[in-house]
Chain A
Amino acid sequence: METPNGTHVLERAINGDSDAFGALVEPHLPMFYNAIYRILGDRADSQDALQDALMAIHRDLPKFEGRSAFSSWAYRVCINNALMVRRARVRRKEDAMEDLVSQNPDEGRPMDADASLRWSTDPDAFNKIEHKEMREKMMAVLDKMSDAHRVVFILKDLEDWTTEAIAEHLEISASVVRQRLHRGRLFVLERMRPFVLGRPT
């Protein structure tokens, strides 16, 4: 990244120029914090993780070799720090996950007609409700999800990690990752569907 006077911002940041560090990080701050908050779902924890991530970025900047974009590298640092904070904390919540499958035995019969509606992602669905409200609802749903299911859902469906990478990081089997992912998906789907589609009156 070049400034008008030709000075390399990254180089300046590595050499301790805090303004240059700010110029590197600040444009991506919303994205970095968003990634952290999606994993942790708690402001205080997210602030801790962001601070840890900023420290790690600042400390490891000399090791950044520029093979990827700075934002991609720093984003990964943020994710890793969020996961570290998550690992360190004791989540207070009980597992609120409901076993949707076992609670809705169908004895081989189809679900009710309402469940047959496909969940559209077309613009009309979003027109039904403001994006901000939808986001708040989604965050509330994630907040109700158990930590074990939430982290798998976020890493797989939002961060596009492979099942194997998640399994390795969380030290569980790939099969357990898929089970948690499936339950997490059903948990989200069941709670967001009426919000997106509306209930028949």
Chain B
Amino acid sequence: MNLMPSCKDVRENLTEYMEGKLPLSRRMGIRIHLMMCKVCDGLLHTLQTLPTFAKEVLRAPAEAPAEAKETYDRFLKNIRETSKS
């Protein structure tokens, strides 16, 4: 058995590696691979920064879009009418 994983093996397992869910031997193999492979190490870094990037890109706009306002206005109108009756 080859203890040193290939780039493909590493790329398939980086999320499990990040969550610390791999057995020790596989974790160590990936860690050593990452120390020697700039490409896979770069991918790990990218995966680590992805949530921050996605949150920034998909943050809520200052104003709700028209369809949200429309739904909200309709709902508010309904509860006003219900409370009157």
Contact = CB atoms under 8 A, between A and B. Distances in A.
A196 B45 CA distance: 15
B7 A55 contact: no
Contact of B76 (A21, A118, A121): A21
Interface string B22-52: 0000000000000001111011011101111
A46 B37 contact: no
Interface in A172-198: 174-175, 178-179, 181-182, 185-186, 188-189, 192-193, 196
Chain A, interface size: which category? 35 or more
Contact of B51 (A47, A120, A157): A157
Nearest to A22: B76
A121 B47 contact: no
A18 interface: yes
B72 to A, nearest CB: 6
Contact of B58 (A29, A138, A189): A138
B1 interface: no
Interface in B46-65: 46-47, 49-65
Contacts of A30: 60-64, 68
Given A29-B68, A54-B72, A158-B51, A121 B8 contact: no
Given A30-B62, A111-B39, A178 B21 contact: yes
Nearest to A16: B83
Interface of B: 6-8, 11-12, 14-16, 19, 21, 37-40, 42-43, 45-47, 49-65, 67-72, 74-76, 79-80, 83
Q: Can you list the 7 inter-chain pairs with the closest CB atoms, starting with the nearest?
A: A108-B6, A182-B15, A34-B60, A33-B68, A157-B51, A119-B46, A110-B39
Interface of A: 16, 18, 21-22, 25-26, 29-35, 38, 43, 46-47, 50-51, 54-55, 58, 101, 105-111, 115-121, 126, 131, 134-135, 138-139, 156-158, 160, 163, 174-175, 178-179, 181-182, 185-186, 188-189, 192-193, 196
